[in-house]
């Protein structure tokens, strides 16, 4: 036992040494958390964590999320020591341009990093999504004696993660959903950037999580045997997620700085590092790991064996359930069924023939009904607005009632919902969609940004898209949100004008796998637009000429969503007066801007400098498309409380005002 304790100590000290060395070399970083949590990490990764460094994407691996992502050298040390493709040279490039070791863990940069963490609490939220995905996918595909989907989700989280409100949203839901394979290690070191947290964070965290319905265990975070016992106990409870509260010392091993905020976000300094090496009995130079310690960490052979055994299970499963196996493999690869695109096009054509004058939120629900029957991987949900967002369909079944369901009642948790969906996307096997009012995207904004930053396929359904919703007033009427979404890198945004554009938008969102999509829908009815086959085909290009004139236009009106119908009436009136006006419907600016220059010129000829953009949203966004010679009918203030049609007239969204604005070019 004594030898094992020494071995554990030295193995954990390897994390401490690498962390303080890398932070010192970079002259920036956070050594305290890695040094404090090293003992916990050593026990978890060496004794319990199921993974394969040779194949970081093995599907049935356990997931590990470092929610307190500022302690990134912890996960980089773990990955390097375990045998991932992360060299000592990579660690020496910590926080440098184009390195595999950025300041916070970033998905896609480093093999073995499951999600980008840094905004505190969101890694924990992503992990809840991963745990939901694991449980739901297992219920959909596992059969008796065939446990193909069977893994844990482990999270390291600190005081900051639990102070953030999102932790309440997601941990409350995790307890309600009985996510027994979610295990969170709370680094209870009592220190944050400003010092000792008891001055501003005096909650009884254990009682809080017990109230959520979690199993709660408390251990000394520097006692390996106690940590191992707690992990075993967490595995024994399949009905409750587990919080393991670990009392630790931040910056453990630093004689003069441990237990203080001085180790949180600054290098220790050369003198203190030398003192720490002596205190830890670590005589090795910077970035030097003795061979025997490397061997104690090596997980490649064990991981290869575990994955090979799983592949054998998959072969047996394929023999007994060939159709299920094909479907599972397709979904794990993130591939759409080969028939989806053609079937979706058939539905779009049907919509063009339907002549439905309905709210685009209802058109969206019709799309879900049509597409979800083709895509069992679609899993939806709403933040307590299912009846308003219209995100359920005839085949919806709540995962809170049926383990293999496809719908999540998130409750009033917009931020948590959005981050959970990103976690599901990261896990794989699902295409998540979530919904709320467009204005409440503000609650979820940082999770929306993180989804885009990681280029994850998550579909955001936003309804009640403008002042046109009416009486709820400016608190519920979005103005600046569309511009916010449209200027987010990797985000695609669609604001359809009718049932047909809604169907095209949903298809585009389902087929876009390199980032999220925001689908923005109206509460009020929108008239169906007549189109030629050529116009129908052009919708997918983001913008197209909906109403044209003879010859070169003198003015171009650009519109989206509910303002398209108003603009059409204005263009028709202008044409009757002999003014050569063109109407361009532009449901997706980003998709249009991705088209070739020739197509863009066809739709918006550069020579036509008289342009008017019409949208019941922030006006300034449209200058880039109308140019300095153009005009914008948009919002330059918040809304008011009144019936929608009254507000639209009050703020100038009328055919008469569009006509007057066009005529003002000649004045």
Active site residues: 414
Mention every residue, 6+ apart, whose C-beta is less than 8 A from residue 509.
Answer: 433, 459, 492, 494, 517, 519
Question: Phi and psi at residue 618, in whole multiples of 5°?
Answer: -50, 125
CA-CA distance, 571 to 208, in Å (whole number)?
60
Distances (CA, A) of 95 to 115, 244, 655: 17, 30, 55
Distances (CA, A) of 622 to 495, 514, 666: 14, 25, 21
Distances (CA, A) of 32 to 16, 90, 112, 254, 277: 9, 20, 22, 9, 15
CA-CA distance, 528 to 547, in Å (whole number)?
14
CA count, 13 A, side-chain hemisphere, 99: 20
The helix or strand, by DSSP H or E, that contains position 66, with its residue range, turns out to be strand 63-66
In the chain, count H helices and then E strands.
Answer: 27, 20
376 closest CA partner among 411, 348, 407: 407
Which single residue is written with the structure tokens 């959005």? 418
Identify the three-state secondary structure at position 144.
Answer: coil
The helix or strand, by DSSP H or E, that contains position 584, with its residue range, turns out to be strand 581-585
Torsion of CA 482, 485, 487, 488, to 10 degrees: 180
- Give the DSSP letter string of 627-664: -TT-EEEEESS---SS-HHHHHHHTT-SHHHHHHHHHG
Question: Phi and psi at residue 78, in whole multiples of 5°?
Answer: -60, -45
Strands 153-158 and 63-66: parallel
CA-CA distance, 131 to 209, in Å (whole number)?
17
Task: Give me the residues paired with residue 635 across strands.
Answer: 618
Count CB-CB contacts under 10 A for residue 616: 30
Count CB-CB contacts under 10 A for residue 57: 10
């Amino acid at each position: 036992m004594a030898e094992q304790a020494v071995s554990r100590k030295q193995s954990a000290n390897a994390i401490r040494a690498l962390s303080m060395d890398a932070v010192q070399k970079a002259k920036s970083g956070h050594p305290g958390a890695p040094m404090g949590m090293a003992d916990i990490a050593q026990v978890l990764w060496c004794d319990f964590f199921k993974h394969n460094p040779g194949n970081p994407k093995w599907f049935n691996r356990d997931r590990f999320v470092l929610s307190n992502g500022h302690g990134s050298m912890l996960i980089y040390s773990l990955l390097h020591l375990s045998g991932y493709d992360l060299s000592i040279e990579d660690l020496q490039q910590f926080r440098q341009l184009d390195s595999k070791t950025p300041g916070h863990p970033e998905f896609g940069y480093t093999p073995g990093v499951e999600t980008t963490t840094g905004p505190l609490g969101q890694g924990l939220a992503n992990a809840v999504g991963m745990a939901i995905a694991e449980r739901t996918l297992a219920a959909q595909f596992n059969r008796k004696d065939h446990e193909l989907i069977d893994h844990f989700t482990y999270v390291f989280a600190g005081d900051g993660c639990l102070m953030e409100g999102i932790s309440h949203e997601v941990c409350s839901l995790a307890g309600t959903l009985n996510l027994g394979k979610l295990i969170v290690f709370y680094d209870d070191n009592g220190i944050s950037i400003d010092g000792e947290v008891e001055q501003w964070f005096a909650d009884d965290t254990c009682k809080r999580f017990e109230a959520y319905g979690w199993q709660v265990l408390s251990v000394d975070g520097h006692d390996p045997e106690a940590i191992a016992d707690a992990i075993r106990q967490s595995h024994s409870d399949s009905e409750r997620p587990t919080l393991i509260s670990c009392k630790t010392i931040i910056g453990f091993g630093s004689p003069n700085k441990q237990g203080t905020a001085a180790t949180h976000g600054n290098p220790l300094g050369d003198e203190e590092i030398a003192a720490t090496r002596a205190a830890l009995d670590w005589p090795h130079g910077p970035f030097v790991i003795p061979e025997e310690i490397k061997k104690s960490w090596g997980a490649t052979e064990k991981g290869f064996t575990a994955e090979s055994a799983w592949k054998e299970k998959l072969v047996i499963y394929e023999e007994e359930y060939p159709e299920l196996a094909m479907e599972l493999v397709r979904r794990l690869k993130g591939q759409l069924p080969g028939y989806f695109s053609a079937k979706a096009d058939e539905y779009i054509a049907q919509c063009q023939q339907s002549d439905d004058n309905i709210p685009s939120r209802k058109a969206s629900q019709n799309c879900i009904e049509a597409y979800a029957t083709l895509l069992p991987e679609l899993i939806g949900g709403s933040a307590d607005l299912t009846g308003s967002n219209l995100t359920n369909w005839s085949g919806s079944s709540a995962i809170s009632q049926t383990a293999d369901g496809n719908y999540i009642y998130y409750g009033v948790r917009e931020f948590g919902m959005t981050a959970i969906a990103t976690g599901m996307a990261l896990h794989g096997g699902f295409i998540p969609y979530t919904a709320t009012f467009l204005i409440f995207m503000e609650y979820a904004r940082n999770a929306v940004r993180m989804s885009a930053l990681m280029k994850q396929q998550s579909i955001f359904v936003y309804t009640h898209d403008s002042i046109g919703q009416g009486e709820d007033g400016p608190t519920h009427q979005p103005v600046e949100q569309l511009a916010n979404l449209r200027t987010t890198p990797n985000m695609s945004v669609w604001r359809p004008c009718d049932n047909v554009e809604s169907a095209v938008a949903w298809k585009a969102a389902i087929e876009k796998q390199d980032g999220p999509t925001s689908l923005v829908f109206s509460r009020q009815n929108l008239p169906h637009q007549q189109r030629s086959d050529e116009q129908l085909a052009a919708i997918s290009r983001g913008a197209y000429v909906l109403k044209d004139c003879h010859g070169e236009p003198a003015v171009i009106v650009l519109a989206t969503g509910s303002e398209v119908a108003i603009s059409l009436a204005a263009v028709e009136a202008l044409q009757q007066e002999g003014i050569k006006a063109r109407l361009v419907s532009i449901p997706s600016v980003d998709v249009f801007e991705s088209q070739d220059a020739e197509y863009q010129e066809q739709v918006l000829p550069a020579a036509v400098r008289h342009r008017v953009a019409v949208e019941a949203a922030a006006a300034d966004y449209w200058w880039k498309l109308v140019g300095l010679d153009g005009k914008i009918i948009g919002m330059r203030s918040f809304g008011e409380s009144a019936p929608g049609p009254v507000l639209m007239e009050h703020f100038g969204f009328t055919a008469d005002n569009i006509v007057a604005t066009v005529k003002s070019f000649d004045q």
